[in-house]
Structure 1
Amino acid sequence: MSYALQTLWHERSRYAAGVGAVAFSAVLIALQIGLLLGLFEITSIPVDHTTADIWVGSNGAPSVDIGRPIPTSLIARLDKPGVGMPEFLYLAFAEWKKSDGTSVNCVVEGSPVNPDSAACVTEITPEIRAALAEPMTVVVDRSDMSSDRLGLAGIGSRGKINGKEVRVVGIVSGLKSLAAPWIFCCQTTARELLGVNNPKYVDHSTYLLARCTTKERAAEVVSELRSEYPEMSAYTSEEFSTKTRVYWLLRTKAGLALGYAALLGLLVGSLITAQTLYSATMGSAKEFATLLALGIPRRKIYRMVLAQSFWVGVIGVSLAYPAVWTLSKLAEQAGTRVVLRWEILLGTAAVTLITAMIAGLFALRSVRQIEPMSLLR
């Protein structure tokens, strides 16, 4: 290992391109995956930004925004030890008409607005919750107020949802939508707005939510509900959040496109790394020929080439992480979230090092072709 590092240092100009290729590959992989996860965290906002532990909905609901109405009478099924008072959540697509007469899709979410509500998103402050108690009032995220989204000027602005006029009484941040803007309101307003296209909402809701005494008890209750009532869906909040993100990732064109881009970044980085290390190894052909002529076993040269590939990967990853952190901060300044959890960084390092080692194996082909007599003439 030490000899391989010494060789890399003395031949640093030759291996600089390999280190750069590895660093580029690591940056590309980490940012693509971080961007992918950051985008799809948005899809599960109604789940992640509440304090509920259990979600009950229609059978087979693939994502939080695609639930079908369920009877409110199902509330009795949550009467179990360790489960708090269930709450109704109304969530469905609707039509938002701007003041200029144009329309866009939106997602209406109606929940209890009392201070200790488990279904109301945590970003809505007690003051705004009090304002939402007034019928036909709504809250929107700051990022959705632009003219190409909801076309709102600020608090007090008005629009129409399914033909009924509503007034904005609060603006929040951190609830940016990926597709249709979220519109938050109280249950009374939601029933009024959604009842136009969904008469069943008179005695139905989209979800039943409840808190539990512990996360472990929540998992137990969900297991019991699935066994007792297979005609409905029951999830812990973590399970439903993951299910929603996986659906958007694997079942939508946006998710497939971003996943393909991340895979393409990995392939491009791998090819560049392999070609660079192959060229660097070929550039050392005479040195390797000399070693072979001196009686050094070919297997030791193989080990040295693989060791060089390993250290090229380590150095490249070490250079990539500061660049990843800087670029992620710049992306967040532009309003794009990049998730860089330790699992992503560790996985990026592992994939990059494996790629570098595979590239080293590819470079060994050039070592096998070395004939000392022909190169030392």
Structure 2
Amino acid sequence: MTGLALKTLLFDWRRFAPAAVAVGFSGLLVLLQAGLILGVFSLASVYVTKSSADLWVGFPGVQSIDLGRPIGGATELFLRADPRVAQVEPFYWGSGEWRTSRHGMVNVYIVGLNPAPDAMVLSQVLPTDLRAALGEPDAVLVDRADLRKLETAVGGLAEINGHRVRIVGVTDGLRALGGVNVIASAATARRLDPAIGNGEGAAYFTARLNDPAQASSAVSDLRTVGRQRGFEPMASKTFADRSVRYWLGESGAGVAFVFGSAVAILVAVIVTSQTLAAAVAASLKDYAALRALGFTIGALRAIVLAQTAWIAAAGVILAGVLAAILAVVARWEATPLIMTAPMVAGAAGLVALVAFGSGLWALRRVARADPAALLL
């Protein structure tokens, strides 16, 4: 039956092509929606995932890195007193307004870090030369994708909160949710945002352990002290996951994004099922001819399901090609899009389910394939 189904599809491909296209685009939609959701909300944890610190210490109960509050400088003393800690580094978080000529004020997040070559924060994305450049007074870095929005270029001057800054370089992959990331040294960050420079302390302290395997025990011991001293230690992965979960489930933006994706996928399923059912309905005379040749209803149903399998395979291939093209375009345009092997496998499985579900829905029409219809 599989061979006959394939020959039927190839002979009458114009009739079934819309069904394959509908299946392919439903798979593409599923994959892109998932990739965009994961990519966009992964920006909430980019400072954690792009740093080499084993521990992050912040205000008790902080849900996301952008919600940090200053913690006392005594926190650093407790970290340095722990024999498992090899290095401690503050992380300053502030906000401001970047003045532009055409777009007015642009909301920016000011990140103050240690510009030393062996610093932990953003160690995976800031090379030594960019860190050295941050040591200059009023020097800042912005992401390459935000240059147009900020109306600036490398070497240009700008104004943040009324203070003049100079763009000494650009980063890649450090875009922000709801604003623009501006990277500066701790000293420059204090000058740009008065809330950072009022002496209340850093928003976070990061720590590198002598043995990363001791992260769980270090967090457990420091948490006991933190309950009394007003800080909460977290393993890096724990903090990154917490930030993403907050934006996905509690910020409102994540809920709206997921709900919109679910509606779009539902529409794709409906369109696919109706397209495939219409293709089967248009082939009723062909199925009637097969019944006249002695094929049973069960055999016709097997042919329809085999056709559905071929259509699903064609749709998966089409979705894969289009997804690869769009992934390249997204990377070129600095759009956060993440596609992993489990996501691709899940999308392919969902496409197969949509196709077979549509095929089962279309089986209702096969019973109408009466040889008497050939006489009409």
Shorter-chain TM-score bucket reads 0.7 to 0.9
Gaps of 5+ in 1: none
Q: 1:245-286 deviations in whole A, cap 9, x for unaligned?
A: 333333445444443443333223212211121112223334
Give the count of matched residue pairs. 371
Q: TM-score, normalised by structure 1?
A: 0.85
Write out aligned runs for 1:174-193 (5 A): 174-193=173-192
SS of the residue aligned with 2:7? helix
Residue number among 95, 102, 105 corresponding to 2:97 in the alignment: 95
Name the residue aligned to 1:142. 144
Q: Which whole-Å CA distance do the structure 2 matches of 1:30 and 1:329 have between them?
A: 14
AA matched with 1:152: T
| Shift in Å, 1:351 | 0.9
| Shift in Å, 1:333 | 2.5
What is the alpha-carbon root mean square deviation over aligned residues? 3.1
Cα pair distance change 1:302/1:100, threshold 3 Å: closer
Do the aligned residues in 2 keep the contact of 1:277 with 1:363 (CA within 8 Å)? yes
AA matched with 1:265: A
| Shift in Å, 1:88 | 1.0
AA matched with 2:241: T
| Shift in Å, 1:214 | 5.2
Q: Which whole-Å CA distance do the structure 1 matches of 2:280 and 2:146 have between them?
A: 54
Cα pair distance change 1:55/1:2, threshold 3 Å: farther
Do the aligned residues in 2 keep the contact of 1:155 with 1:171 (CA within 8 Å)? no
Q: Which whole-Å CA distance do the structure 1 matches of 2:321 and 2:5 have between them?
A: 25
Q: Which whole-Å CA distance do the structure 2 matches of 1:54 and 1:271 have between them?
A: 47
| Shift in Å, 1:219 | 4.1
Q: Which whole-Å CA distance do the structure 1 matches of 2:225 and 2:5 have between them?
A: 63
Name the residue aligned to 1:131. 133
Q: 1:191-229 deviations in whole A, cap 9, x for unaligned?
A: 3443x2367x51421111112345543344335545664
Name the residue aligned to 2:370. 372
Name the residue aligned to 1:357. 356
Do the aligned residues in 2 keep the contact of 1:57 with 1:67 (CA within 8 Å)? yes
| Shift in Å, 1:118 | 0.7
| Shift in Å, 1:293 | 6.1
Write out aligned runs for 1:303-342 (5 A): 303-342=302-341
| Shift in Å, 1:77 | 4.2
AA matched with 1:332: R
Name the residue aligned to 1:275. 274
Q: Which whole-Å CA distance do the structure 2 matches of 1:357 and 1:227 have between them?
A: 55
Cα pair distance change 1:229/1:365, threshold 3 Å: farther
| Shift in Å, 1:49 | 2.0
Write out aligned runs for 1:1-377 (5 A): 1-78=2-79, 79-80=81-82, 82-97=84-99, 102-146=104-148, 148-149=149-150, 151-155=151-155, 157-161=157-161, 163-194=162-193, 196-197=194-195, 201-213=198-210, 215-226=212-223, 229=226, 232-252=231-251, 254-289=253-288, 296-368=295-367, 370=368, 372=370, 375=373, 377=375
Cα pair distance change 1:155/1:315, threshold 3 Å: same
Do the aligned residues in 1 keep the contact of 2:288 with 2:374 (CA within 8 Å)? yes
| Shift in Å, 1:301 | 3.3
SS of the residue aligned with 1:85? strand
| Shift in Å, 1:98 | 5.1
SS of the residue aligned with 2:87? coil
Do the aligned residues in 1 keep the contact of 2:55 with 2:208 (CA within 8 Å)? yes
Identity among equivalent pairs (%): 33
Is the deviation greater in 169-178 or in 109-118? 169-178
